[in-house]
Structure 1
Amino acid sequence: MTQLAQPEITELSPRESAQDARRTQILDAARTCFARSGFRGASMQEICLEAKMSPGGLYRYFPSKEAIIEAIAQEERCGAAELIETMRGTGPLLDRMMSCAMGYFAYMRDPGACELMAEISAESLRNSEIGKRFAQIDDSVRDIMREVFLEAIETGEMPPNADLDATISMLQAAVDGIALRQINDPDLSLARVEPLLRRLVAGVLGMKA
């Protein structure tokens, strides 16, 4: 009997692992600085101090603050894609949407996450290049939502929608608004949000809660 070849497992070398850890250390420090001081206010020196690294060490990984922002944008893009994928799959559409929203809210409760989101939104209006980077994240989320809704309409789970784009925008505004609200209302727990958001989403989509 012929034995099938086993897939080769590639492990990171200690050097690669250390480099990844240092890169993560820098990006975590940058997120903290950007949430505290803003993209414009945070300096490379501040990021160095937060990361507990020398300027020379930091510049080996990122030659500029813009390069750090680009790396954060890429991580946000990957994270958003992974989270929004929970809307696919089996089970009632409303349950899948709630799972996605609750995962997002949980992530946004991490220290500095809401503040960084607010800074991204503000800087995207001032800086067209940053705006373009983070607009890609928004576009990818909208594309998946549109695909999921069209499938639900086709199967009869969701009634026909005359303006799907506006509906998606309304839902995004509600979810982003709740996430940002956590800054000033830390008692707005996930347990309190879920049943209210479920009814809101069901109403917007014309479904039963």
Structure 2
Amino acid sequence: MSVGVIYRYFANKEAIIEAIVANDLAEMREKFAEFDTVADDDLIDRLVDIIPMAIEHKYNNEKTALALEVLAEAARNPNVAAIIKKSEAQERELVLTLLRRIYGEDIETSTLLARNEVIAMIFDGMLVRSVCAPDIDRDQMIKWLRKVVRYTFEIKDY
């Protein structure tokens, strides 16, 4: 599709990015809706089970390139940064709801936010790693990432 055709549908680059971000958020909401059917005691197991799917999503050349372009634009453009921050806040609420199901209401929000940030760093970091090390042994990565995620969520030192 040529640039001219794209701008028939979108007013500007920010509108394009807003649509991309909205689509990604809708996909995330759909995935999180699947957790509604999972018993609280099984949530950590379910999170560990979806790691292969998450890796396939993050190690996707087309999606990776687009995501990195959006982030690069956010670093330069405050309007795009605001779009990303708004989406991040909505994603964070989805995760916090899930984490509260795992830990109950007694855990401090700051602890939940820190755990969420650690997991986000790992998964968002996969975008960069998929460019730097695209041929990594995914089976080994899945094996070790499952251990990291399980440890991060199972530890109750709060």
Three-state SS of the structure 1 residue aligned to 2:134 is coil
Among 187, 190, 193, the residue aligned to 2:141: 193
Please name the residue that 1:17 is paired with. none
The residue type paired with residue 150 of structure 1 is: R
Q: TM-score, normalised by structure 1?
A: 0.61
Q: Does 1:130 align with 2:80?
A: yes
The equivalences for 1:1-209 within 5 A come to 29=1, 47-48=2-3, 55=4, 57-90=5-38, 92-154=42-104, 160=107, 163-207=111-155
Q: Which protein has the larger Cα radius of gyration, Structure 1 or Structure 2? A: 1
Specify every segment of 5 or more residues in structure 1 that has no aligned partner in the other structure, as ranges. 1-28, 30-46, 49-54
The percent of aligned pairs where both chains have the same amino acid is 22
Note the C-alpha offset of 1:59: 4.1
- Segments of structure 2 that go 5 or more residues without pairing to the other structure are none
Quickly say closer, same or farther: Cα 1:71–1:106, change in 2 above 3 A: same
Measure the CA separation in 2 of the matches of 1:116 and 1:71: 12
CA shift at 1:68, angstroms? 2.1
Verify the 8 A CA contact 2:92 2:116 in the aligned structure 1: yes
C-alpha RMSD of the superposition: 2.8
Q: Aligned partners of 1:178 and 1:75: how far apart in 2?
A: 20
8 Å Cα contact 1:88/1:148 also seen in 2: no
Q: How many residues align?
A: 153
Instruction: Name the CA distance, whole Å, in 2 between partners of 1:68 and 1:139.
Output: 20
Contact 1:77 1:136 in 2 (8 A): no
| Contact preservation (8 Å) 2:17, 2:70 | no
Change (3 A) 1:194 1:128: same
- Bigger helix fraction: 2
CA displacement at 1:165 relative to structure 2: 0.9
